[in-house]
Amino acid sequence: MTGLMLSGAPTVAVLLGIGSVLVEWAHRRWGGESSDQATTRGWMRLMLSATLATALLAYALDQWVWRIDVAALSTSEAHKEWGSIIRLLLWFPWPAWPLALWTLIRWRRQLTSRHVALPLWFAVVAIGTTLLTGASDRSLLLSLPPLATLAAFALPTLRRSVASLIDWFTLLFFTSCGIAIWVIWVAMQTGVPRQPAANVAKLAPGFEPSFSALAFGLALLATLAWAWLVKWRAGQQRAAIWKSLILPAGGTTLCWLLLMTLWLPLLDFARSYESMSRQIAWQVNRQACVAVLGLNTAQIAALRYHQKLDLRPIGPETSCPYLLVDTKSLSSMGQSVNRAEWERMIMVRRPADRSENMVVYRRFKPSEATARR
What confidence category does residue 132 fall into, taking pLDDT thresholds of 50, 70 and 90?
confident
Which whole number is the average pLDDT over 55-81? 68
Instruction: Say which residue, 187 or 27, is predicted with more confidence.
Output: 187
Q: Is the pLDDT score of 28 beyond 80?
A: no
- Domain end position, chosen among 235, 254, 271: 271
Q: Is the pLDDT score of 331 beyond 60?
A: yes
Distance between CA 267 and CA 302 in Å, rounded?
A: 16
Q: Verify that 306 and 354 share a domain, yes or no.
A: yes
Tell me the residue type at 199.
N
Give the pLDDT of residue 355: 76
Distance between CA 11 and CA 189 in Å, rounded?
A: 48
| Pairing state between β 322-326 and 289-293 | parallel
Distance between CA 11 and CA 111 in Å, rounded?
A: 24
What confidence category does residue 30 fall into, taking pLDDT thresholds of 50, 70 and 90?
confident
pLDDT tens-digit readout, 261-296? 999 999 988 888 888 898 999 999 888 999 999 998
Q: Which helix (H) or strand (E) holds 289?
A: strand 289-293
pLDDT tens-digit readout, 120-131? 999 999 998 888
Q: At what angle do helices 114-132 and 10-30 cross, to 10 degrees?
A: 150
Q: Verify that 167 and 187 share a domain, yes or no.
A: yes
Q: What percent of the chain lies above the pLDDT cut of 70? A: 88
Give the pLDDT of residue 370: 53
Q: Verify that 9 and 138 share a domain, yes or no.
A: yes
Q: Verify that 145 and 187 share a domain, yes or no.
A: no
pLDDT tens-digit readout, 177-218? 999 999 999 999 999 999 999 999 888 877 889 999 999 999
Which whole number is the average pLDDT over 55-66? 85
Which whole number is the average pLDDT over 30-40? 62
Q: Verify that 152 and 165 share a domain, yes or no.
A: no
Distance between CA 339 and CA 289 in Å, rounded?
A: 19
- Domain end position, chosen among 271, 305, 325: 271
pLDDT tens-digit readout, 146-160? 999 999 888 888 888
Q: Which of 68-77, 91-100, 219-228, 331-340 has the highest mean pLDDT?
A: 219-228
Give the pLDDT of residue 232: 84
Q: Any idea what DSSP says for residue 332?
A: T
Lowest mean per-residue pLDDT among 226-240, 297-311, 344-358: 226-240
Q: Verify that 169 and 43 share a domain, yes or no.
A: no
Kindly report the average pLDDT of the chain as a whole number: 85
Give the pLDDT of residue 371: 54
Distance between CA 276 and CA 271 in Å, rounded?
A: 10
Q: Verify that 195 and 140 share a domain, yes or no.
A: no
Q: Is the pLDDT score of 145 beyond 50?
A: yes
Q: Verify that 152 and 203 share a domain, yes or no.
A: no
Q: Is the pLDDT score of 87 beyond 80?
A: yes
Instruction: Say which residue, 255 or 352, is predicted with more confidence.
Output: 255
Answer yes or no: are the C-beta atoms of 311 and 290 closer than 8 Å.
yes
Q: Verify that 81 and 25 share a domain, yes or no.
A: yes
Distance between CA 332 and CA 1 in Å, rounded?
A: 40
Q: What angle do CA 192, 195, 197 make, to 5 degrees?
A: 60
The answer to whether the peptide bond before residue 193 is cis (omega within 30 degrees of 0) is: yes
Q: Percentage helix, strand, coil, to 5, in the chain? A: 65, 10, 25
Q: Verify that 46 and 148 share a domain, yes or no.
A: yes
Domain ranges, residue 132: 2-156
What confidence category does residue 220 fall into, taking pLDDT thresholds of 50, 70 and 90?
very high
Q: Is the pLDDT score of 302 beyond 60?
A: yes
Domain count, the chain: 3
Give the pLDDT of residue 113: 84
Instruction: Say which residue, 75 or 52, is predicted with more confidence.
Output: 52
Q: Verify that 74 and 179 share a domain, yes or no.
A: no
Q: Verify that 11 and 144 share a domain, yes or no.
A: yes
- Does the pTM exceed 0.85? no
Q: Is the pLDDT score of 76 beyond 70?
A: no
- Domain end position, chosen among 156, 176, 205: 156
- Report the DSSP beta bridge partners of residue 342: 363
How many residues does the structure list for the chain?
373
Distance between CA 230 and CA 221 in Å, rounded?
A: 14
